[in-house]
Amino acid sequence: MTGHVDTLMRLPPESRWRQARPWIFAGDRSFFAALRHDAPLLRLPQVTVASRFADCEEILRRHDLFSVSLYRPKQGDYLMAQDDTAQHWRVGFAPVFLATVNHL
């Protein structure tokens, strides 16, 4: 395992997201490279992180399996709380996200 993933795995499971979150939001390319190599689907108690383009693409396209409907009561009509809607694609969020993930 590489440094980032090894660091995470040494922590208690409930502390791993707290450590990984800053790396994710900072766009730490070495962290994403480590995930793709050692833990392409990183399962944490709070969240699962997909790091390979093919996995991210499938997650975004398979609304039947990976729905955001559980967030709808909290988020309302907010763009991120919509599954496969015309507005979602018209605004261009999903294609831009996929292109961004492909370059990490």
pLDDT given at position 73: 78
Q: Where are the chain's structural domains?
A: 1-51, 52-104
Task: Report, as an integer, the average pLDDT of 63-67.
Answer: 81
Residue 76 has pLDDT above 80, yes or no: no
Please count the CA atoms within 13 angstroms of the CA of 74 that sit on its side-chain side.
6
Full-model pTM? 0.69
- Helical (H) or strand (E) element with 42: strand 41-43
Residue 79 has pLDDT above 50, yes or no: yes
Q: Are 40 and 52 in contact (CB under 8 A)?
A: yes
Under DSSP, the state recorded for 55 is H
Task: Report, as an integer, the average pLDDT of 7-32.
Answer: 93
Task: Report, as an integer, the average pLDDT of 22-38.
Answer: 92
Q: Over pLDDT 70: what percentage of the chain?
A: 73
Residue 38 has pLDDT above 60, yes or no: yes
Q: How far apart, in whole angstroms, are the C-alpha atoms of residue 41 and residue 50?
A: 5
Question: Which of left, alpha, beta for 74 (phi over 0: left; psi -120 to 50: alpha)?
Answer: alpha
Q: Are 42 and 49 in contact (CB under 8 A)?
A: yes
The residues pairing with 22 across neighbouring beta strands, listed in sequence order, are none
102, two tokens: 């492909």
